[in-house]
Amino acid sequence: MKTTLASLALAIGLVTPALASDPDRLVTVVTSDQPQVQLMSMVLTNQAIAQGHPARILLCGAAADIALKDAPDSATAPQPPKGASPQALMMAAMQKGATVEVCAIYLPGRGADRSILLDGVGVAQPPAMSGAMMDDDTIVWSF
């Protein structure tokens, strides 16, 4: 009887962590200058958040313009079919807990500082971002 209970306890100990594991984290990397691609990246990221995946969004190049206080029309113009914009859905993801960061070289490349970014948008630190992207429990999407 003791052997059976010990085996059962061992089996439960091995199974329980697998059942209780956290959902994979998501890093969405957006570099496209195309508003439709930017919008779809935010649609999918918001869906992943709704499914319980913690998300981090990295915006580089022209895609980082959606994080600007004075963003171009392409980032803020409503698009079909639901009239959403890349910036609005990025902000929705932030409200749901997503971390949004621009690439470390974006602001220096523009000759600007953080003051041009929307509140809550940070600047990615390469060691931390590469670590997040390489983590075994991370899914990386690139748009």
The enclosing domain of 53 has a CATH number of 3.40.1260.10
- Give the pLDDT score at 23: 86
pTM over 0.95: no
Neighbours of 78 (CB within 10 A): 10
Phi, psi of 81, rounded to the nearest 5 degrees: -95, -10
Residue 75 lies in a domain: yes
Query: Residues 57, 69, 142, CA angle at the centre, nearest 5°?
Result: 20
Question: With the C-alpha atoms ordered 47, 94, 76, 132, is the resulting torsion angle positive or negative?
Answer: negative
- Give the pLDDT score at 25: 97
| Strand-pair partners of 88 | none
80 and 35 in contact (C-beta within 8 Å)?
no
CA distance 28 to 57: 5
- Give the pLDDT score at 107: 98
Per-residue pLDDT of the chain (143 residues; tens, 9 = 90+): 544 444 444 444 444 444 446 889 999 999 999 999 999 999 999 999 999 999 999 999 999 999 999 999 999 999 999 999 999 999 999 999 999 999 999 999 999 999 999 999 999 999 999 999 999 999 999 99
Residue 46 lies in a domain: yes
Structure tokens at 86: 């890349």
Give how many domains the chain has, as a whole number.
Answer: 1
- Give the pLDDT score at 39: 98
- Give the pLDDT score at 16: 42
Structural domain boundaries, residue 42: 23-142
CA 81 to chain centre: 23
- Give the pLDDT score at 6: 44
Residue 72 lies in a domain: yes
CA distance 29 to 131: 14
